[in-house]
Structure formats: structure tokens, C-alpha cells
Structure 1
Amino acid sequence: MKVNSFFLLSFIFLLSCSKIEPRRPINPKPSTTIYKEVIEDSKKINKAEDEMLAELIKKDTLLNFKQSSQGFWYAYNHQIQENLPTPKLGDEVVIVYQISDLNDAIIYSKEELGQKTYKIDKEDFISGLQKGIKLMKTGETITFVLPFYNAFGVLGDGNKIGVNQSIKITVTLIKITN
């Protein structure tokens, strides 16, 4: 009897040691190819926007625009030749600016926006303008042409600036303080 119960227990033990396979998810994660397609589409849209802005800038006979490595164009309306400092991380600047569309129709006037105090790279502000202000000296006025992805992006500002709208911003740097 002891031998039979030993074999029975051994048999049950061997059957219970079978390998358990994990359960597969019912809804597998979406393929990363969808994300890759969205990224590729965004790159194409951004490239088309850059080409359109480059053509627009070529037609501008009043200002001499330069392309920055930061993804925007800029031209000096009034340039200071003196060796003055430019703003750096943590500096506080006071600016006056105006936002217009690419056809120079004013969206937000200087009066509407008033003076803006901005702490360099410490506050949320228009992406392209954050980078552009670092090029300026006190007293200079620069016009920036910002593609939508360096301005208010795919959402606009929820008011006067539309979805995927590129803009021009004319900025005068009033003061830099440390």
C-alpha cells in the first residue's frame, strides 16, 4: 500500500510541475510604425513650411533676413554696433513686441501686449522668441519670422493665432538686468 501511494503522489507531483505559459494580452500595444509614420509626416510638414517661409523671405526687399540654427529667421530693424552684452541664462529682460501674420497684418499690437518682463530660459514663453532674444543687445529691434512649430504650434494661442500659423514678431529690447 505504501508503494502504491508513493507512486500515486509522485505521479501527481510530476503532472503539477508542467511549465506555465504566460497569458497573451487581449489588446496588444500598437505598432511603433504608426508613430514612425506620424514623425515622418511631421518632418514633411515642417520642411514644406520652411521652404514656404524661405520663399517669402526672398521676396522681402526691406529687411535682410538671416536663418538661425534654431529654426527661425531674423532681421535687424535697428542694430547697435557697440560691444554691449546679450542676455544669458537667468537674466531678466524687458521687451516691447508686436505680433503680425506673414502678410504684415497686425495680430497683437505693441499697445495690446505692453511691456513684457521675461527671465531668460526660466519662464514659459514663445519658443522661437526665447531663443531669438538671446541675440539682442539693449536698444536693438529685430523682426523674427517664426514657423508655427517655433511659435504657438499646432494649437495656436486659442484666440487670434490659428492652428499651424507661422508669425512675424518685431521685438525691441529695452533693458537687461542680472
Structure 2
Amino acid sequence: MNKLYLLTLVLLAMFSCKSPEARRPVSVKSGSFIDASVERNKKLNAKEQAHIKKIMQQKKDTDYVASESGFWYYYNTKVESDSIGTPNFGAIVNFDYNVKTLNGSVIYSKEEIQPQAYAMDREELFTGLREGLKLMKTGETVTFIFPSQKAYGYYGDEHKIGTNMPLICEVTVHSITQNQTK
């Protein structure tokens, strides 16, 4: 009888030591939603690019510069030499700006926004403006044209700026205080 119990225990132990099997998903999803989203964003980007190029063609006397980051700008006031230069990481930039639609309607005026003190790359600021400030020197005024993905993107600002809205911003840098600690 003891041998039977022992044999049963050994057999049970051998067959219960099975390696775990991976669970299969209940439903299989394809990448169709992502593919559709990518296609929709490509069409939106092409439409915005065409509208921005049309605006730039209307101002033929303006020298637009295409940034490496995907927006355009031109200098209203350019400073050729400056001992401080452009801001580095952590620099405090005092500036003001306005926000307009591509047709020139003011969304936020400089008075509404009021002058800003921004710690470079340490605080929140929409992508295009953050990258644009890195190109500027004290005393310069630059007009930026941001496609929606460089502005507020899909969400807008939840107040006056809507979904996927390209913007024009005129920015003036009043002072730059470079970060002394490295």
C-alpha cells in the first residue's frame, strides 16, 4: 500500500512539473488605427505646409528662414553682435510675445500674455516657442510661423487655441541672464 502511495506521489510530481505556457490574447488587434492616424496627420501636415507657403509667397520681400525644427521665421529686428549670445540651458530669458492665427487675427496680445521670465529648458513652454527662443539674442524681435505640431498640437490650449491650429508669434527678447553654474 505504501508503495502505491509512493508511486502515485512520484507520478503526480512528474506530471505536475509542466513549464508555464504563454497566454494568448483574447482578441487580436491590427495596426489599422495607427495607420489611419499616421495618414490623417500626413494630410494635415501637407495642408498646413501649403497654407504656410502661400503666406510666405504673399510676403516676397521678407526673408524667411526654415528652422531645423520644422518652423519658419524672419527677423523684424536683428542684432548682429551681442556679448551674451543666444540662451543656453538654464538661462533666464525675459521676453514678450503675441499669438495670431495664420490669417493674422490676434488670439492673445502681448498685453494679455504679459512679459515672461522663462528658465530655458527647465519650464513648460510650447515646443516651437521654446526652440525659437534658443535662436534669439537680447533686443531681437522675430516673427515665427509654427505648424500645429510645433504649437499646441491636437489639444490646443483649452481656451482660445483650438485643435491642430498653426500659429504666428511675434517674440521680443528683452534680456538673457546666462546660467553661471555648469
Q: TM-score, normalised by structure 1?
A: 0.84
Contact 1:63 1:77 (8 Å CA) reproduced = no
SS in 2 for 1:96: strand
Deviates more, 1:19-28 or 1:64-73: 19-28
**Aligned partner of 2:156: which letter?**
G
User: CA 1:19 to 1:129, structure 2 compared with 1: closer, same or farther past 3 Å?
Assistant: same
- Please name the residue that 2:44 is paired with: 45
Task: State how far apart, in whole Å, the 1-side matches of 2:13 and 2:126 are.
Answer: 68
Identity %: 33
Q: Give the drift of 1:23.
A: 6.9
User: CA 1:21 to 1:127, structure 2 compared with 1: closer, same or farther past 3 Å?
Assistant: closer
Tell me how many residue pairs correspond in the alignment: 177
Q: Give the drift of 1:58.
A: 1.6
- Please name the residue that 1:74 is paired with: 73
Contact 1:94 1:174 (8 Å CA) reproduced = yes
Task: State how far apart, in whole Å, the 2-side matches of 1:10 and 1:124 are.
Answer: 65
- Please name the residue that 2:110 is paired with: 110
User: CA 1:15 to 1:168, structure 2 compared with 1: closer, same or farther past 3 Å?
Assistant: same
Contact 2:94 2:173 (8 Å CA) reproduced = yes
- Please name the residue that 2:170 is paired with: 170
Larger Rg: 1
Deviates more, 1:95-104 or 1:42-51: 42-51
Contact 2:82 2:138 (8 Å CA) reproduced = no
Q: TM-score, normalised by structure 2?
A: 0.82
SS in 2 for 1:149: helix
Deviates more, 1:31-40 or 1:71-80: 31-40
Where in structure 2 are there 5+ consecutive unaligned residues?
none
User: CA 1:175 to 1:16, structure 2 compared with 1: closer, same or farther past 3 Å?
Assistant: same
Deviates more, 1:160-169 or 1:13-22: 13-22
The 5 A counterparts of 1:126-141 are 126-141=126-141
**Aligned partner of 2:34: which letter?**
Y
**Aligned partner of 1:166: which letter?**
P
Task: State how far apart, in whole Å, the 1-side matches of 2:14 and 2:81 are.
Answer: 88
- Please name the residue that 2:56 is paired with: 57
Instruction: Map Cα deviations across residues 100-157 of structure 1 (whole Å, 9 max, x no partner).
Output: 1111111111111110000111111011010011111110000000011000111111
Deviates more, 1:136-145 or 1:17-26: 17-26
Where in structure 1 are there 5+ consecutive unaligned residues?
none
